Amino acid sequence: LIYTTAKQDYAKKLMDVLDPRKKLIRRCLSQSDCVCSRGCYWKDLTRLGRDLAKMVALDHTIQGFPAQAANWISVPQWCGDPQDEELLRLIPLLGQLGQAVRTRGWGGDGCP
């Protein structure tokens, strides 16, 4: 899932870069799926209809998820560099979080 505060056309371009074969990313949410407050857009994970205790959000700024800060994992901003491997470096952490959720639950407080 990609959830961005960007407009739909940018989100589609991002999906084309990250998943050119259309096999990994099942859904893309954009600015029209965000909450707008005082001219600022932010992502509300509750709109996904899933258990927040089993979700994490990767973003370069917490401003994108002010209501779900406990679900946020900071990553550097992506600038289109094809050599950027930041998401690959996160695979072990995400695997550990997934295992923690499956075996003993995760309270959503940022600590498995």
pLDDT digits (tens, 9 = 90+) for 58-71: 898 888 888 898 99
**Three-state secondary-structure class, residue 25:** coil
What is the dihedral sign for C-alpha 77, 87, 6, 10?
positive
With bands split at pLDDT 50, 70 and 90, how would you rate the model's confidence at 94? Answer: confident
User: CA–CA distance from 27 to each of 4, 12, 93, 103, 106 (Å)?
Assistant: 11, 10, 23, 27, 24
Average pLDDT over residues 75-100: 88
* pTM of the entire predicted model: 0.71
The first and second tokens of residue 16, run together, are: 């084309």
HSE, CB side, 13 Å, CA atoms: give it for residue 55.
16
DSSP letter string, 42-53:
E--GGGG-S-GG
Domain boundaries, the chain: 50-106
